C-alpha cells in the first residue's frame, strides 16, 4: 500500500487543481458574460437593412444588437402594452410610424450636437425622433429612349405631354414609399388635382408594379421608357450597369423617410444612444452602400449628403397630417377613379 501512497497523493493534488481551475474559469466566464452589453431594436424597416447595420456596429462597440422585426400595427401595439416596462430600447421605422409612436408618448427626448445639424424637415419638432436617411421619388429614364425624346422630361407635368411615353411605377397599395408620393401630392396640390393628374398619366402606365425595384428594372430593360421610382433602386440598377439616367423633378418631389426614436424608460438607454449616434455617421452610410442600399443621409455633414447637394434635388414637405383611415379612403378613391378606370 505504501508504494502506491505517493501516486495517490499526487492524484488527489491534481484533482484539486482541476476542480479549483474549473471554478475559477467558470467564474471568469460568468463575469465575461455579464460584461457583454446589448440593446433591443423594434423595427418596421426591412430586417436585412437593419441587420447589416447592427452587425457592423457590433464589431466596433462590442454591443449586441437584438433586432425584432414587426409590422407597423404590431410595433405600435407593443409600445403601448409595454409602456410601463418597455422591452425595446430603440425604434427604427418610417416617419409615419414614428409620428404615431410619439402620440403614445413612447419616446424620450434625444438631442445632441450632431442631431442639431439635421434639418427640421427630417426630425420631430420636440426631438422625440430623428430622421436617419431618406429616399426621394425620381424619374429613371432609359438612355436609348431618351435619345428619341423631343425633350428630356424634367417636370411632373412633362409626363402627360407625350402620350407615347411609356411609364412604370409601383402601385400605391404595394409599398409605403410609393404611397408617400400620393399622400404628399395630395398635401400640396389637393385631392382633386392630384387624382386628376394621376388619371391623365394613367393611359401611359404599362404596369403598376408590386415591388419598388420592378419599375426601374422595366426601364432598364427597355420595357418602359421612364420609371417613377425611389432613388435607391434607380441608383442600384445604374451601379449594376443598366442604361438609366436619374432625373430629379424640377418642381420638387416626395420622399420616404426612415428614422429612430429612443424608447422612454429604456433599460439599455446608454447603449441605444450609442447606436443611434453611430447611425448618423459616415460609417453607417458606408455600411449601407457596401450592401447596395443607396439612401441619402439626413446629416448634412456626411460625405454622402454632400455628394447630392449639387444635384438640384428639391423636396416637397409633407405638411398635412392624415390618419391611417383618411389615407385608406384616399387609396380607395385612387383605385376607383384611376387604377381600374379604362385607359
Q: What is the pLDDT of residues 126-159, one digit of tens each?
A: 999 999 999 999 999 999 999 999 899 999 999 9
Does 269 map to a domain?
yes
Domain membership of residue 71 as a residue range: 37-134+256-308
Are 284 and 53 spatial neighbours (Cβ–Cβ below 8 Å)? yes
> What pLDDT was estimated at residue 309?
63
C-alpha cell at 235: 441608383
For residue range 31-81, what is the model confidence (pLDDT) as tens digits? 444 457 999 999 999 999 999 999 999 998 999 999 999 999 999 999 999
Q: Are residues 130 and 44 in the same domain?
A: yes
Q: Are residues 173 and 150 in the same domain?
A: yes
**CATH, residue 228:** 3.40.190.10
Q: Are residues 109 and 51 in the same domain?
A: yes
Does 169 map to a domain?
yes
The count of structural domains within the chain is: 2
CA-CA distance, 86 to 83, in Å (whole number)?
A: 5
Does 13 map to a domain?
no
Are 266 and 272 spatial neighbours (Cβ–Cβ below 8 Å)? yes
Does 58 map to a domain?
yes
Q: Are residues 213 and 274 in the same domain?
A: no
Left, alpha or beta for 190 (phi > 0: left; psi -120 to 50: alpha)? left
CA-CA distance, 46 to 66, in Å (whole number)?
A: 15
Average pLDDT, the chain: 89
Are 133 and 258 spatial neighbours (Cβ–Cβ below 8 Å)? yes
The neighbour count for residue 263, using CB atoms within 10 Å, is 26
Does 32 map to a domain?
no
CA-CA distance, 324 to 320, in Å (whole number)?
A: 13
Q: Is the pLDDT of residue 178 over 70?
A: yes
The pTM for the full model equals 0.87
Amino acid at each position: 500500500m505504501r508504494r502506491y501512497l505517493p501516486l495517490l497523493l499526487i492524484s488527489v493534488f491534481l484533482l484539486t487543481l482541476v476542480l479549483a481551475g474549473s471554478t475559477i474559469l467558470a467564474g471568469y466566464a460568468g463575469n465575461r458574460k455579464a460584461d457583454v452589453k446589448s440593446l433591443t431594436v423594434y423595427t418596421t424597416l426591412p430586417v436585412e437593412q437593419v441587420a447589416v447595420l447592427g452587425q457592423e456596429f457590433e464589431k466596433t462597440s462590442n454591443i449586441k444588437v437584438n433586432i425584432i422585426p414587426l409590422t407597423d400595427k404590431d410595433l405600435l401595439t407593443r409600445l403601448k402594452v409595454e409602456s410601463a416596462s418597455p422591452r425595446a430600447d430603440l425604434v427604427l421605422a418610417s416617419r409615419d410610424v414614428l409620428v404615431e409612436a410619439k402620440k403614445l408618448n413612447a419616446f424620450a427626448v434625444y438631442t445632441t450636437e450632431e442631431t442639431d445639424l439635421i434639418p427640421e424637415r427630417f426630425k420631430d419638432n420636440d426631438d422625440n425622433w430623428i430622421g436617419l436617411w431618406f429616399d426621394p421619388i425620381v424619374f429613371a429614364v432609359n438612355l436609348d429612349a431618351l435619345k428619341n425624346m423631343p425633350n428630356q422630361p424634367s417636370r411632373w407635368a412633362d409626363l402627360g405631354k407625350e402620350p407615347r411615353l411609356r411609364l412604370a411605377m409601383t402601385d400605391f397599395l404595394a409599398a409605403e414609399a410609393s404611397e408617400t408620393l400620393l399622400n404628399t401630392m395630395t398635401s400640396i396640390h389637393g385631392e382633386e388635382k392630384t387624382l386628376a393628374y394621376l388619371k391623365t398619366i394613367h393611359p401611359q402606365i404599362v404596369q403598376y408594379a408590386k415591388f419598388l425595384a420592378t419599375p426601374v428594372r422595366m426601364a432598364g430593360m427597355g420595357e418602359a421608357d421612364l420609371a417613377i421610382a425611389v432613388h435607391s433602386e434607380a441608383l442600384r440598377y445604374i451601379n449594376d450597369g443598366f442604361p438609366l439616367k436619374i432625373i430629379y423633378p424640377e418642381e420638387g418631389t416626395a420622399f420616404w423617410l426612415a428614422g429612430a426614436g429612443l424608447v422612454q424608460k429604456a433599460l439599455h438607454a446608454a447603449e441605444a444612444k450609442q447606436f443611434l449616434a453611430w447611425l448618423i455617421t459616415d460609417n453607417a452610410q458606408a455600411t449601407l452602400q457596401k450592401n447596395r442600399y443607396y439612401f441619402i443621409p439626413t446629416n448634412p455633414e456626411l460625405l454622402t449628403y454632400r455628394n447630392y447637394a449639387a444635384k438640384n434635388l428639391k423636396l416637397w414637405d409633407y405638411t398635412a397630417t392624415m390618419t391611417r383611415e383618411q389615407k385608406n379612403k384616399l387609396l380607395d378613391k385612387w383605385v376607383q377613379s384611376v387604377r381600374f378606370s379604362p385607359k
